[in-house]
């Protein structure tokens, strides 16, 4: 058991919940995919539900801010499609697109600042591109989601160079690592509209340090243009930077 951090705080209740749900999985787990997905509120854990509600609240709070939505690190597309579906519900005739940046290779770009041994996690969250395309097709979202496949450190500067007016209102950062988070902040600092949000999944994370280190370095230089906000009631996302000065 980890000591003195957030893992310890939730350890006991998580353990009981995970054991109990394993039992139910054995009892009911052989159902067809959509028989589980359609009544999803029955099956989803409360902390996972809280994550989705928080993201929905944050995204909805930026609907009047000009610019597109982006997610950096989409894996199988859970959060990506969630955000695209929210836009369909609350801004169906608006011009906002959801930009997805991912290599689909999992975690690969490690530095010393990540504070984690690559041997343990190299390739984690990889190999999900085909599945993502299938679900984008199912929901007919090809014209709402733009995929930039490749390393963010390479794709983002190119996209920004080729699209000099491209601006964002909501940027979800979930690559877990230092070098991509640094590239996102340096690249999008001037492209995030006033009132727009950078949202971080792993700031202050007990195992993945890199995202937080990149954010804190960025704030040393640009902190006066942002308001830092805690996200209540969820473990992740755990930091919002609201742009207060353009």
Ligand X SMILES: C[S@@+](CC[C@H](N)C(=O)[O-])C[C@H]1O[C@@H](n2cnc3c(N)ncnc32)[C@H](O)[C@@H]1O
Nearer to ligand X, 62 or 74 (CB): 74
- Looking only at residues 75 through 114 of this chain, which bind ligand X when binding is defined by CB under 6 A? 75, 78-79, 102-107, 109
Cα three-residue angle 204-209-211, rounded to 5 degrees: 80
Q: Which span (35-43, 49-57, 73-81, 230-238) binds ligand X, by CB under 6 A?
A: 73-81
Angle, nearest 10°, between helix axes 46-60 and 78-90? 50
SS3 107: coil
Write out the two tokens for 129.
Answer: 């591109």
Cα three-residue angle 192-178-174, rounded to 5 degrees: 60
- Looking only at residues 122 through 151 of this chain, which bind ligand X when binding is defined by CB under 6 A? 125-126, 151
- CB of residue 157 vs ligand X: minimum separation in angstroms? 12
Q: Write each residue from 169 to 208 as x if it is in contact with ligand X (CB under 6 A), else as -, in one continuous string.
A: -----xxxx--x----------------------------
Nearer to ligand X, 12 or 49 (CB): 49
Using CB under 6 A, pick the residue from 74, 169, 236, 238 that binds ligand X.
74
Q: Which span (88-96, 168-176, 216-224, 231-239) binds ligand X, by CB under 6 A?
A: 168-176
- CB of residue 54 vs ligand X: minimum separation in angstroms? 13
Place of tokens 């979800």: 172
- CB of residue 74 vs ligand X: minimum separation in angstroms? 5
DSSP class of residue 69?
E
Nearer to ligand X, 174 or 242 (CB): 174
Distance CA 123, CA 192 (A): 30
Question: How far lies 48's CA from each of 33, 104, 240, in Å?
Answer: 19, 23, 18
- Looking only at residues 5 through 34 of this chain, which bind ligand X when binding is defined by CB under 6 A? none
- Nearest residue to ligand X, by Cβ distance, number only: 73
Q: Within 13 Å, how many C-alpha atoms sit on residue 59's CB side?
A: 29
Is 225 within 8 Å of 194 (Cβ atoms)?
A: no
Using CB under 6 A, pick the residue from 59, 152, 188, 240 that binds ligand X.
152
Distance CA 133, CA 121 (A): 25
Judging by DSSP bridges, how do beta strands 192-200 and 239-243 pair with one another? antiparallel
Nearer to ligand X, 62 or 179 (CB): 179
Q: Which span (17-25, 56-64, 72-80, 220-228) binds ligand X, by CB under 6 A?
A: 72-80
Nearer to ligand X, 107 or 141 (CB): 107
Angle, nearest 10°, between helix axes 210-222 and 178-188? 30
- CB of residue 75 vs ligand X: minimum separation in angstroms? 4
**Contact positions toward ligand X, by CB under 6 A?**
73-75, 78-79, 102-107, 109, 125-126, 151-153, 174-177, 180
């Amino acid at each position: 058991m980890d000591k003195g951090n957030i893992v310890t705080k939730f350890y006991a209740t998580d353990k009981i919940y995970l054991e109990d749900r394993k039992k139910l999985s054995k009892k009911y787990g052989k159902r067809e995919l959509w028989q589980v997905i359609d009544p999803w509120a029955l099956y989803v854990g409360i902390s996972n539900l809280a994550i989705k509600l928080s993201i929905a609240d944050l995204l909805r709070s930026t609907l009047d801010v000009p610019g597109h939505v982006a997610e950096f690190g989409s894996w199988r597309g859970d959060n990506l499609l969630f955000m695209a579906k929210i836009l369909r519900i609350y801004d169906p005739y608006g011009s906002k697109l959801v930009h997805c940046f991912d290599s689909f290779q999992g975690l690969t770009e490690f530095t010393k600042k990540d504070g984690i041994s690559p041997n343990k996690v190299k390739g984690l969250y990889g190999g999900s591109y085909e599945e993502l395309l299938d679900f984008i097709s199912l929901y007919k979202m090809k014209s709402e989601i733009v995929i930039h496949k490749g390393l963010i450190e390479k794709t983002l500067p190119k996209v920004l160079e080729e699209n000099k007016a491209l601006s964002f209102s909501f940027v979800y950062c979930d690559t877990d690592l230092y070098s991509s988070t640094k590239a996102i902040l340096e690249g999008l600092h001037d492209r995030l509209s006033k009132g727009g949000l950078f949202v971080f999944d792993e700031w202050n994370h007990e195992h993945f340090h890199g995202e937080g280190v990149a954010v804190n370095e960025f704030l040393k230089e640009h902190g006066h243009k942002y308001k830092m906000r805690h996200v209540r009631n969820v473990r992740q996302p755990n930091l919002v930077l609201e742009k207060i000065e353009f």
